Amino acid sequence: MKTLGNILWLVFGGIVIALIYYLVGLLMCITIIGIPFGVQLFKLGTYALWPFGHELVNAPGEPGCLSVVMNLIWVLCGWWEVALLHLVCGLLFFVTIVGIPWGLQHLKMAISSIFPFGKEIR
C-alpha cells in the first residue's frame, strides 16, 4: 500500500514539489552561506519524493544548540511560508475522502519543513 500511495503521490504533484525543493536547494548552494539551507532543502526534496512509510525524526543527539539556531534563522528568513503552503495543500486534500492520505502527508511535510535542521529521514 505504501508503494501505491507513493506512486500516486508522485503523479498528483509530489514530483513537482521535490523538483522545486531541489531547484531552490541548488540555488541556495551557490553561496557558501546558503549551503546549509540548500542541504536541508535537498533533504526535504528527498522526503517529498517518497513520503509514505517515511518520516523526518530527530537525529541522535538532536536538537543541539547549532540546529536550534539554524532553525531560528530558517524561520526568520521566511521558510515558514513553505510550511504554510503544505498546510493549505493538506487542507485542500481533506475536502475529499480519497485525498485524506495525501492531506496527511502534506501535514507531515508542513511540520517537517518548519524546523528541518537536526532531522533525518527514517
Per-residue model confidence (pLDDT) at position 95:
93
pTM for this predicted structure: 0.89
Domain count, the chain: 1
Per-residue model confidence (pLDDT) at position 37:
94
- Identify the domain containing residue 94 by its residue range: 2-121
Could you give the CA distance from residue 8 to residue 29 in angstroms, rounded to a whole number? 30
What is residue 32's three-state secondary structure? coil
Strands (E), 2-122: 56-58, 119-121
What is residue 41's three-state secondary structure? helix
9-40 residue pLDDT tens: 998 888 999 999 999 999 999 999 999 999 99
What is residue 64's three-state secondary structure? coil
